[in-house]
């Protein structure tokens, strides 16, 4: 099943695409159990706790979206911290506070 679903959480799939993925599993089970009765196939799916690819894909997409949302929030926080550090450096330089409390000149010419 992982081979069938690899990387699909980032691709937009139509309902027809999802039904095609489900068909692969359903058809395999029909051949395995030598039946074309969908009630038997659904009973087998439930009995063996087997999830259709469309349901697995939905879970994977939700997990992916949550990860990217968390990454976006973290990235935004990083940018904010970087801007604050830059602002503090500019403020120190502009207001002549280039010396530290221990007497080291932070902006000294090193020639």
pLDDT tens digits along 21-73: 899 889 999 999 999 999 999 999 999 998 898 888 888 888 888 877 766 66
Q: What does the pLDDT read at residue 42?
A: 92
Q: Is the pLDDT of residue 103 over 60?
A: no
Q: How far apart are the C-alpha atoms of 90 and 82, rounded to whole Å? A: 12
> Is the whole model's pTM more than 0.75, yes or no?
no
Neighbours of 53 (CB within 10 A): 21
Neighbours of 52 (CB within 10 A): 19
């Amino acid at each position: 099943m992982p081979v069938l679903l690899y990387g699909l959480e980032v691709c937009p799939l139509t309902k027809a695409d999802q039904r095609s993925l489900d068909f692969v599993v359903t058809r395999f089970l029909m051949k395995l159990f030598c039946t074309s009765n969908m009630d038997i196939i659904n009973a087998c799916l439930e009995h063996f706790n087997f999830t259709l690819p469309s349901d697995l894909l939905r879970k994977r997409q939700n997990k992916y979206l949550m990860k990217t949302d968390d990454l976006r929030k973290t990235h935004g926080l990083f940018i904010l911290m970087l801007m604050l550090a830059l602002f503090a450096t500019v403020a120190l330089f502009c207001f002549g506070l280039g010396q530290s409390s221990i007497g080291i000149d932070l902006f000294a010419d090193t020639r």
